[in-house]
Structure 1
Amino acid sequence: MSSAPVEGSGSAVPRGGGRDAITGAARTIFAERGYHGTSIRDIAKRAGLSLSALYYWHPSKQHLLAALVEEITHDYFQRCDRALREATDEPAERLAALVRTTVEYRVSRRVESNIATLEWRNLEPENRERLDGLRRAATRLWVDLIADGVARGAFHCAHPDDARRAIVAACNAIAQWYEPGGGITLPELAERYTAIALRIVDHRV
């Protein structure tokens, strides 16, 4: 029986741990240098793997970027979906759950969030079109929630789409400026942005 191949040896089939090393290396270097400033060789070197080991998991830098953006976007959608399933049917509480989840996500995955935002334009059309479905699904959560709140008289905003865009943009921007230990805790930040969101949709107690 042949022995298992060793990562970094140039074998065609590296062990599974290399995939995490590659993802971590790509995340770090994309954040430092941007997509166009990063080479596939840079990523392999940072991951401590040979090029052949990297190519086993990702045939190109574009494939790696698409896989990273997909994981980030899918994780966000899953967290939001779970938060809404755990919330009550009250529109204000559901909006608070969605805002809180988004704020927590942007803080806990700041690097990934910024990569997904800044490098989206560098996805090739085929990958962008495929991943846009995930983005639309996440957007639909917000659209349906605010529309339901307006229909039920819980929200009184005259322009629901504009309200949604303002809330989402504010929450997403947190990844660019928030620094842990900078004077405001994560629970305080989530509470603050929930209050802002409820004002934007004109929720009246």
Structure 2
Amino acid sequence: MRPAGQNALLEAARQEFAERGFGSASIRNIAARAGMSLSAMYHYYSGKQELLHALLDEGMDRYFASVDAELQAVGGVDAAPADRLGAVVAATTRFRAEHAARSNILLLEERSLEPERLERYSRRQADATSLFRDPIEAGITAGEFHTPYPDEARRGVIAMCNAVAQWWRADGPLTLDALVDRHVELALTLVEYRPRRSFAARGRA
């Protein structure tokens, strides 16, 4: 649990970065948004770079938690590949829609990190990519996904989910539940999902 002042600073920095971008964001504006002095702000964070890194870490923590909850609902790592991929797509789509500002910072501001911080963040991004790669590879191994282009399919699915933060609106014509269902269907189409069926076994039942 973070102190209230620290939470206020993170939220203020998120708003400032989302509105102005990291490069144009003002440390004074962040402190003012949080309702504290610069000296009080420096008690928690040394400057914009540390604030950005904290925001990226917090965003990733929330994202992984949301994906894990969705995966557990379908049976976790032991679930069928299609269910695992569907869970990751559903969680990512919801996260991008419900946390647009947080998502846009995650997706756009890694370029502003200093090299040492960027290296750590890149490892977390690789872990996020594996959430999609692993079920796709499992589906191909199981003979349920038939795409000859798994890497391109994965990149397409990720791009589709990430773009939600840019365009989806709660007051628009498409509900979030409908969007989630649509994205899961499109993702399974991209990987050419063909579940194994035994008509012989069904005939003997």
| TM value normalised by structure 2 | 0.89
Do the aligned partners of 1:77 and 1:137 also contact (CA within 8 Å) in 2?
no
Match of 2:19 in 1: 32
- Structure 2 matches for 1:52-201, cutoff 5 A? 52-88=39-75, 89-201=79-191
Post-superposition shift, 1:81?
2.6
Do the aligned partners of 1:74 and 1:134 also contact (CA within 8 Å) in 2?
no
Paired-residue identity, % = 45
Do the aligned partners of 2:82 and 2:135 also contact (CA within 8 Å) in 1?
no
Q: Give unpaired runs (5+ residues) of structure 2.
A: 196-205
Post-superposition shift, 1:47?
0.8
CA deviation vs aligned residue, 1:137-173 (integer Å, no higher than 9, x gap): 1111211110000000110010111111100011000
Do the aligned partners of 1:25 and 1:46 also contact (CA within 8 Å) in 2?
yes
CA deviation vs aligned residue, 1:178-204 (integer Å, no higher than 9, x gap): 011201111100001111101100012
Structure 1 letter corresponding to 2:22: Y
CA deviation vs aligned residue, 1:54-101 (integer Å, no higher than 9, x gap): 111111110000100111112212221332233142211111111110
Match of 1:23 in 2: 10
CA deviation vs aligned residue, 1:7-49 (integer Å, no higher than 9, x gap): xxxxxxxx92111111111111111111111121110011110
The root-mean-square deviation of aligned C-alpha atoms, in Å, is: 1.3
How many pairs does the alignment contain?
Answer: 191
Do the aligned partners of 1:110 and 1:175 also contact (CA within 8 Å) in 2?
yes
Match of 2:32 in 1: 45
Partner Cα distance (1:47, 1:57) in 2: 12
| TM value normalised by structure 1 | 0.89
